[in-house]
Amino acid sequence: NFMLTQPHSVSESPGKTVTISCTRSSGSIASNYVQWYQQRPGSAPTTVIYEDNQRPSGVPDRFSGSIDSSSNSASLTISGLKTEDEADYYCQSYDSSNVVFGGGTKLTVL
């Protein structure tokens, strides 16, 4: 089984841009889609990015996703940060028999 590694926490000021990384331990990051979920305290996760770089309807275009085969990682970028973006963010991928979540990144907007 592969693992997905995320930074434990990131912080940035309102209006700025932040990028959260998600590195796959084995196998190609491009072999299966990567998703990103936002989770606020006391709530279920919601999707902000699916299939590497697709935004569900209702998610603002300040959220974008990408993958980089050279570093075998995926990234979630949030531009024009708002205080409401403060939350935990999880990357997720899968293979034929397993679903894997990253450990989560706590985003602080201060």
Residues within the interface to another protein (CB under 8 A): 1, 33, 35, 37, 39, 44-47, 50-51, 56, 90, 92, 94-104
Query: Least separation, in Å, of the C-beta of 15 and another protein?
Result: 29
Query: Least separation, in Å, of the C-beta of 17 and another protein?
Result: 24
Query: Least separation, in Å, of the C-beta of 32 and another protein?
Result: 9
Query: Least separation, in Å, of the C-beta of 20 and another protein?
Result: 14
Rank residues 52 and 85 by Cβ distance to another protein and give the closer one.
52
Q: Residues 6 or more apart from 96 whose CB is under 8 A from it?
A: none
Q: Residues 6 or more apart from 53 whose CB is under 8 A from it?
A: 64, 65, 66, 67
Q: Residues 6 or more apart from 78 whose CB is under 8 A from it?
A: 17, 18, 19, 20, 62, 63, 85, 107
Rank residues 18 and 91 by Cβ distance to another protein and give the closer one.
91
Rank residues 34 and 78 by Cβ distance to another protein and give the closer one.
34
Distance CA 84, CA 67 (A): 25
